[in-house]
């Protein structure tokens, strides 16, 4: 069955409808014949077989419209149809009764004035009225009646004359065209409705809409999950019976929107927004959206991490820490206990001992392991940029700022961990703002006027004596006590013992041998002795750089400064270090001559400057030779530059 079904109560209407379908090429229109109850039965069969809209005329149309749920279009009886039907009786002297429902006889009063014969309107209310109506008017002297097939049947039975009203092709075509327009509009409406359903079901927010009577018209899948109510049960039900806690009827009454209200549903916190639907000044309904607060936080965190896309993750765990000493075992055990809590941790230790390795392990060992780990080296950022890196900035806060603003590290680390390395390098004027973030867990972007709540754990690290800096008023006392609740001191390499040094050396040897595709060098007794007797100013970082260099060169030659003069060229950095070592050794044999022997700081500064110059200003190469990090190198070079400017 096609989408549109024409039920023709008369044979000539059937024939005309078939002709129209063929002439117009309507491939979605079917035509059946049947009058009154027969037509209704035909329409029922057609709807069961897929018809979406029915076209008919007169009493048949009235019965179909009231009995079926599908749309129905009427073939209107036009004035032209009436004139054509009455044409054979223009010379009739007696009155003519026009029998039909209101939709048939409507407008006949005008024709009554135009036609020469007398016309009497016989209006019907239901099909059973036909015989009694004709009989009643027949008693008044009317012997000729005009109408549908049912009028013909009754008139014949009562012995009266009759004229059958037929519809012209123009009237049938108009009805079919109207049916096609309605069908097209219905399809478009269904498409829009399905789009709305798809959109509402796809979004993460729960959505409930009601009409002016409080009946639910929209109840999406997210609302199902939040309220544990089946969608099919909720639709067309009273909202007060399904989800009374959403208080949508109150929105109908007050006509005021409400944003950000939090309610408890099944043990979960749900954020709800409500708003009235106003059409032409009248409230026709209300809409509420619901968000699971926990899910909101997860989505927010995912968006923040996706937009940042800066690799904010911690790679290392406690299992990655290579050690063979009791001091390190105790340190790791303490760090494992700290990982269970969100309390701030201050990690101390000399440069190169692996403080960040412990900080990442603490993050991965705690409940925030799935959140971001945002690390920032406070010594590597110029003071002028420190504020925006820490706290971010709002749109248009300064010339050159991004149009959309920028989040600081505390926002990017929401529900994760912020690692502030070299915390002692933060300028004193910014320490007050940092203290507020630590205490209040709120961030104010540069140039903004609203606080942004953040949920972060703070881990700090330093190789500087913060207690002395506090006494010298170079570090805020209140900030020091806020970040120093849990203290973890990472022992230097010399305190870990020979076994830890050899274990670390073997680990780095394997790592860089695999990286560069070279065979690992054997650790002879002389090499092990040299490794364990060496003084590692750069701690583990220095040992790692030393092993990388040995793998690249393929030899342990020049492993320690005392052995270097015999095997190293006089212009290499190791030769300079050997000379410094030899001078220090010679000086230890007797009291130094005043003014001739430099102090240890001067010797170290001279060595750093020489290595940096021989590396051609290459920071990476100089740091690898010295066994120190970039921030330490830059700090020492700046100090030298300031000293030279003062003495010069």
- What is the reported pLDDT for 451? 86
CATH number of residue 549's parent domain: 1.10.8
Q: Are residues 487 and 499 in the same domain?
A: no
Name the H helices within 517-618. Answer: 525-533, 539-553, 564-567, 573-587, 600-614
Q: Are residues 496 and 545 in the same domain?
A: yes
Mean pLDDT within 358-362 = 94
pLDDT tens digits for 530-569?
A: 999 888 888 999 999 999 999 998 888 877 544 343 333 4
CATH number of residue 255's parent domain: 3.30.450.20
Answer with the one of 181, 211, 235 that is the final residue of a domain: 181
Q: Are residues 339 and 483 in the same domain?
A: yes
Mean pLDDT within 272-285 = 89
- What is the reported pLDDT for 101? 64
Mean pLDDT within 289-307 = 64
Q: Are residues 52 and 86 in the same domain?
A: no
In contact, 133 and 124? CB cutoff 8 Å: yes
- The band of 305, judged by pLDDT with boundaries at 50, 70 and 90, is low
- What is the reported pLDDT for 523? 92
Question: What percent of the chain has a predicted confidence (pLDDT) above 70?
Answer: 81
Least confident of 40-49, 52-61, 115-124, 164-173: 115-124
Q: Are residues 332 and 430 in the same domain?
A: yes
Q: Are residues 340 and 244 in the same domain?
A: no
197 within some domain:
no
- What is the reported pLDDT for 402? 55
Q: Are residues 356 and 483 in the same domain?
A: yes
Domain that holds residue 88: 79-166
603, pLDDT greater than 50: yes
In contact, 27 and 2? CB cutoff 8 Å: yes
- What is the reported pLDDT for 365? 93
Which residues, 6+ apart, have CB-to-CB distance to 597 below 8 Å?
583, 587
205, pLDDT greater than 90: no
198 within some domain:
no
What beta strand segments (E) does 320-415 contain?
345-348, 373-377, 392-393, 406-407
Q: Are residues 90 and 46 in the same domain?
A: no
Task: Pick the closest to residue 360 from 310, 313, 294 (CA basis).
Answer: 313
- The band of 86, judged by pLDDT with boundaries at 50, 70 and 90, is low
307 within some domain:
no
pLDDT tens digits for 92-147?
A: 667 877 776 665 555 566 666 666 667 777 777 665 677 787 788 887 878 777 77
Burial (CB < 10 A; 0-12, 13-18, 19+), residue 416, is buried
Q: Are residues 613 and 642 in the same domain?
A: yes
Greater model confidence, 1 or 272: 272
305 within some domain:
no
Please state the domain count of the chain. Answer: 6
- What is the reported pLDDT for 485? 93
- The band of 297, judged by pLDDT with boundaries at 50, 70 and 90, is low
Q: Are residues 210 and 277 in the same domain?
A: yes
- What is the reported pLDDT for 517? 92
């Amino acid at each position: 069955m096609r989408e549109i079904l024409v039920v023709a109560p008369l044979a000539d209407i059937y024939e005309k409808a078939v002709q129209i379908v063929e002439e117009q090429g309507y491939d979605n229109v079917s035509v059946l014949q049947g009058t009154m109850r027969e037509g209704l039965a035909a329409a029922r069969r057609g709807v069961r077989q897929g018809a979406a809209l029915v076209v008919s005329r007169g009493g048949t149309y009235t019965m179909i419209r009231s009995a079926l749920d599908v749309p129905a279009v009427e073939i209107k009886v036009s004035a032209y149809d009436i004139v054509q039907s009455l044409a054979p009786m223009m010379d009739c002297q007696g009155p003519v009764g026009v029998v039909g429902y209101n939709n048939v006889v409507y407008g006949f009063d005008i024709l009554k004035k135009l036609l020469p014969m007398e016309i009497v309107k016989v209006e019907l209310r239901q099909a059973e009225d036909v015989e009694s109506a004709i009989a009643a008017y027949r008693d008044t002297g009317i012997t000729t009646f005009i109408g549908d097939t049912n009028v013909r049947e009754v008139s014949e039975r009562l012995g009266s004359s009759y004229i059958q009203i037929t519809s012209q092709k123009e009237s049938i075509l108009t009805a079919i065209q109207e049916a096609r327009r309605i069908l097209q509009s219905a399809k478009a409406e269904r498409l829009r409705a399905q789009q709305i359903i798809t959109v509402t079901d796809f979004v993460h927010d729960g959505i409930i809409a009601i009409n002016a009577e409080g009946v639910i018209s929209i109840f999406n899948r997210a609302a199902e999950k939040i309220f544990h109510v089946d969608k099919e049960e909720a639709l067309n039900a009273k909202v007060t019976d399904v989800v009374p806690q959403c208080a949508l009827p109150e929105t109908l009454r007050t006509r005021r929107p409400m944003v950000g209200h939090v309610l408890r549903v099944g043990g979960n916190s749900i954020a709800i927004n409500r708003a009235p639907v106003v059409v032409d000044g009248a409230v026709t309904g209300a809409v509420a959206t619901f968000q699971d607060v926990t899910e909101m936080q997860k989505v927010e965190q995912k968006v923040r991490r996706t937009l940042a896309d800066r690799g904010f993750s911690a790679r290392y765990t406690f299992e990655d820490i290579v050690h063979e000493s009791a001091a390190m075992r105790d340190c790791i055990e303490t760090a494992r206990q700290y990982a269970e809590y969100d309390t701030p941790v201050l990690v101390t230790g000399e440069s190169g001992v692996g403080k960040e390795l412990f900080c990442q392990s603490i993050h991965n060992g705690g409940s925030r392991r799935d959140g971001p780990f945002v690390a920032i080296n406070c010594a590597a950022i110029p003071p002028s940029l420190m504020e925006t890196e820490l706290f971010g900035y709002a749109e248009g806060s300064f010339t050159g700022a991004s149009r959309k603003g920028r989040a600081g590290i505390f926002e990017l680390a929401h529900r994760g961990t912020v690692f502030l390395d070299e915390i002692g390098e933060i300028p004193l004027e910014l320490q007050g703002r940092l203290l507020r973030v630590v205490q209040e867990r709120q961030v104010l972007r540069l140039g903004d006027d609203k606080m942004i709540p953040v949920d972060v754990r703070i881990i700090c690290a330093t190789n500087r004596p913060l207690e002395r800096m506090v006494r010298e008023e170079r570090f805020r006392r209140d900030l020091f006590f806020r970040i120093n609740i849990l203290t973890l001191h990472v022992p230097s390499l010399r305190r870990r013992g020979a076994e830890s040094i050899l274990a670390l050396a073997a680990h780095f040897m394997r790592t860089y041998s695999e990286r560069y595709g070279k065979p690992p060098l054997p650790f002879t007794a002389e090499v092990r002795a040299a490794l364990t007797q060496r003084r590692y100013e750069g701690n583990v970082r220095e040992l790692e750089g030393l092993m990388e260099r040995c793998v690249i060169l393929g030899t342990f030659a020049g492993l320690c400064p005392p052995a270097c003069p015999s095997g190293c060229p006089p212009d290499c950095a190791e030769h300079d270090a050997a000379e410094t070592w030899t001078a220090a050794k010679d000086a230890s044999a007797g009291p130094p001559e005043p003014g001739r022997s430099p102090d240890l700081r001067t010797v170290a500064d001279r060595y750093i400057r020489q290595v940096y110059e021989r590396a051609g200003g290459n920071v990476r190469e100089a740091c690898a030779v010295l066994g120190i990090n970039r921030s330490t190198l830059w700090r020492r070079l700046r100090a030298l530059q300031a000293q030279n400017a003062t003495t010069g």
